Structure 1
Amino acid sequence: MPASLPEPPPLIDDLPYTVAVAPDKAGLRLDRLLADALPALSRARVRLLIVGGHVHSSEGEAMFAPDHRVRAGECFVVRVPEIPPFVTTAPAAQAMPLAIVYEDVHLIVLDKPAGLVVHPGAGNADGTLVNALLAHCPGQLSSIGSPLRPGIVHRLDKDTSGLLVVAKSDLAHLDLARQFARHSVKRAYWAFVWGGPVPPEGRIDYPIGRSPQVPTKMAAVARGGKVAETRYRTLKRYGTLASLLECRLATGRTHQIRVHMASIGYPLIGDRVYGGVARLPAGCPQDVRDAAESLAGQALHAFELGFIHPATGDEFSFTSTLPMHIKRLVTVLETH
């Protein structure tokens, strides 16, 4: 009986791996080449890395097509995102109410409330959106990606409310991930900030990375960060106290809107991480102060989501109204 093959060596999370195309590999699909070269990764996982923008040519160009036919001499760099090391079992199904906006066999669009974590992580082993989805549609979520995040294509912060799309089929997951990687998904947010941004409409393109001072926070950094771009325009001013902005993302970095608005001096109201509570305007009325401090989180709501349906090719667009905890803030602001 032949000896069993040794297990492939584990990959070290977040390190780059370089794969060169030998002459005998010319003509292979990119996903096949990388799966063969990195046996610790399944081919499905490799496809997700590609469409997620984690594979680049040696010249730095992102490779979004798993079926790209490679040429001899080409070289590709693969970065494997960190997978949380603290969870050893798959998430459990937990029945919870979900605000489902649309659902078919390929995907679900839902309206996430503030306070709900999207998937299990440090300090949130259960009670997440993933746990609720496993109860709502058992065995129907996409199997691509981490077992801790079945169907999860993108995220919203715990304390950000609004629209989110989840993949049920693998087809949908791969195609939606490609759309997000190419920044073709339409995402718009209502953001309530302290003060009145000058200019009232603009573009913020500071790179975002880990804060050098506080590694658990993100920050606009001079070097070492990832390209990030937020476009904003002022929809309404509440005197000199606050403003309602519409923010649109050209990229999707962690805490992007929160970091970018704080970086130009207009933090989100209620943001306990990036200054939206500590930096209350001088002379802020007590009722406004109370309303800001009683918010469930930062006053940020993902009100618009648009994408191309992966199976039909139809253009889908969804909108959402403000949640009640932000409406209460608006009611107080409108009295000043």
Structure 2
Amino acid sequence: MSGGISHHSVTLPDEAAGWRLDRALAAALPILSRERLKVLISAGQVTNAMDVPVRDPATKVMAGARFTIAVPLPTAAHNQAQDIPLVIAYEDEHLIVVDKPAGLVVHPAAGNLDGTLVNALLHHCRGSLSGIGGVERPGIVHRIDKDTSGLMVAAKTDRAHTGLAAQFAKHTIDRRYLAIVQGKPMPIEGTVRSWLGRSDANRKKIAVQPDGRGKHAVTHYRTLERLNGAALVECRLETGRTHQVRVHMASIGHPLLGDPVYGGSQKAHRALLGQLGFGRQALHAAHLGFTHPITSCALSMDSSIPPDMQTLFSNLGV
């Protein structure tokens, strides 16, 4: 390592013979994604045994060929690292799964420039982030609303970020939410399919759209327990659209209790929510399952319903 550059020497194994250079190097150097390697190759940062840059990612390689990859050290993220307590459900050198509390914003944005999950991860993971796209930052591949609690995964390395993003794009991530909804869904389980997009009336809201407009969304729900004028429901996401569970349950007449945007709680429920000081949508990301993008091991974890939702559940008991 010198001059802000980390050098990696690779000797390709026999099975790499005939492969593209970017593919062979990605297999030999797991900390870098294939997309990142394509950029480095095109920039002349990969040299052969004769110290000559190889600039074509599609170059076919030979077994035993030696290459040196010069990787610029990741630049510091522009966001500030902040010592914000986190509950860690799983962590290794490639990724981290956080059990996010309600009220914590995921990513800095206008109105929330700090005090976010990203700020907390920059502090917690300092020294272990190898850089996402050349920047020392956690790789956020999905988000949870500020006032939704539960499990969320973030990548520490470029390779893990690419692998996780691919699984989310293919809808192979197992995500299940617990929601307390108004009324008692009939049938007690089913599937909601629709197109979701920004509401024409209120651009801050997501709305069910005519077929072909917006993004296709699929939510599978099942009633776990019937309550007093409400129900505890598990929602399994086949897709992961903004506000998907909240919009889909509201669209079938069962909005989440406490939801300030898509709600419409009955008078008795509003009184109970006020009495309990429950000021958010009753939604918790309770289960997360995926394939580890580096080791290919199946990972599965669960998060217990948080105390505020448990109290609400108990007070709604029949």
Same fold (TM over 0.5): yes
Root-mean-square deviation (CA), in Å? 2.8
Indicate the SS of the match to 1:232.
strand
Alignment TM-score, normalising by the size of structure 1 = 0.70
Report the counterpart of residue 214 of structure 1 in structure 2: 202
C-alpha change, 1:159 and 1:215, in structure 2 (3 Å) is same
Asked if 1:264 is matched to 2:252, the reply is yes
**Do the aligned residues in 1 keep the contact of 2:258 with 2:265 (CA within 8 Å)?**
no
What's the offset of the Cα at 1:143?
2.9
Structure-2 separation of matches of 1:146 and 1:323: 37
Say which of 85, 100, 113 aligns to 2:88: 100
Give CA deviations for 1:218-273 in whole Å, capped at 9, x if unaligned.
1111152100000001111113x100001000100000000111111110011001
**Do the aligned residues in 1 keep the contact of 2:129 with 2:137 (CA within 8 Å)?**
no
Say which of 198, 202, 205 aligns to 2:186: 198
What's the offset of the Cα at 1:29?
9.7
Report the counterpart of residue 132 of structure 1 in structure 2: 120
Alignment TM-score, normalising by the size of structure 2 = 0.73
Indicate the SS of the match to 1:96.
coil
C-alpha change, 1:139 and 1:327, in structure 2 (3 Å) is same
Please list, as runs of the form range in 1=range in 2, the aligned pairs for 1:1-336 lying within 5 A after superposition.
44=36, 90-141=78-129, 143-144=131-132, 150-222=138-210, 223-239=212-228, 241-275=229-263, 279-281=264-266, 284=268, 288-291=272-275, 294-334=277-317, 336=318
What's the offset of the Cα at 1:288?
2.4
Aligned residues: 255
What's the offset of the Cα at 1:169?
1.4
What's the offset of the Cα at 1:121?
1.1
Structure-1 separation of matches of 2:250 and 2:37: 36
- Aligned residue identity for 1:288: L
**Do the aligned residues in 1 keep the contact of 2:255 with 2:265 (CA within 8 Å)?**
no
Q: Percent identity?
A: 52
- Aligned residue identity for 1:227: H
- Aligned residue identity for 2:177: Y
Indicate the SS of the match to 1:331.
helix
Structure-2 separation of matches of 1:207 and 1:44: 33
Give CA deviations for 1:117-161 in whole Å, capped at 9, x if unaligned.
011012110000000111111143363369696321111110110
What's the offset of the Cα at 1:180?
0.8
Structure-2 separation of matches of 1:149 and 1:106: 12
Q: Once structures 1 and 2 are overlaid, which stretch shifts more, 148-157 or 162-171? A: 148-157
- Gaps of at least 5 residues in structure 1 are 1-26, 32-42, 48-66, 70-88
Structure-2 separation of matches of 1:45 and 1:215: 39
What's the offset of the Cα at 1:102?
1.2
Structure-1 separation of matches of 2:21 and 2:240: 28
**Do the aligned residues in 1 keep the contact of 2:132 with 2:156 (CA within 8 Å)?**
no
Indicate the SS of the match to 2:159.
helix
**Do the aligned residues in 2 keep the contact of 1:230 with 1:257 (CA within 8 Å)?**
yes
Q: Once structures 1 and 2 are overlaid, which stretch shifts more, 203-212 or 136-145? A: 136-145
**Do the aligned residues in 2 keep the contact of 1:142 with 1:150 (CA within 8 Å)?**
no
Higher-Rg member (1/2): 2
Indicate the SS of the match to 2:122.
helix
Report the counterpart of residue 51 of structure 2 in structure 1: none
Structure-2 separation of matches of 1:261 and 1:149: 34
Indicate the SS of the match to 1:228.
strand
**Do the aligned residues in 2 keep the contact of 1:187 with 1:249 (CA within 8 Å)?**
yes
C-alpha change, 1:68 and 1:120, in structure 2 (3 Å) is farther
**Do the aligned residues in 2 keep the contact of 1:195 with 1:281 (CA within 8 Å)?**
no
**Do the aligned residues in 1 keep the contact of 2:195 with 2:217 (CA within 8 Å)?**
yes
C-alpha change, 1:68 and 1:220, in structure 2 (3 Å) is farther
Which is richer in strand?
2
